[in-house]
Amino acid sequence: MKQYTIGLITGALLAISAMMFMAAQTFQDKNLGDITADSITLISEAGLVRMDGKGIRVGKRDDVHMTYLSATGMVVGIEHAPLVVITSEGGGGILKTYNAYGKMTGYFGTNTENDGLAILYDRYGDIGWAVSGKQ
């Protein structure tokens, strides 16, 4: 009777192991489809990439110097000011640059009349030079 029980248990364990092995092979060969999450953060020695519902931030690990890409405008309330923002606001694409103090130093994009616009600011965020593409 003891040998019969041991044989039965061994057979059951072998069957379960075979099923687990076949299931693992099945998942390895298939695309799992789309991943849905509120946010994803990838961290490495060199830096980080954070994707959330507001945009994508790429920067150093300490998150002090970063680039921000958005389809809805600049993120409000981030810990440190970005150095570069690429976004779309008011129906036009915009590239904004900032200095280390969070003051805008450059703007290249589209104005409210859908004309091109370039603006340079001083270190304090005051306009120093501007030109419109409107003729």
Give the Cα separation of 31 and 19 in Å (integer). Answer: 20
pLDDT tens for the 135 residues of the chain, in order:
777 788 788 888 888 887 777 776 666 656 667 777 777 877 777 777 777 777 777 776 555 556 777 665 554 444 556 677 777 766 678 888 888 788 889 999 988 888 899 999 999 999 999 999 888
pLDDT at 110: 87
Enumerate residues 6+ apart whose C-beta is below 8 A from 56: 49, 50, 68, 69, 70
pTM over 0.85: no
pLDDT at 99: 84
Give the Cα separation of 132 and 115 in Å (integer). Answer: 7
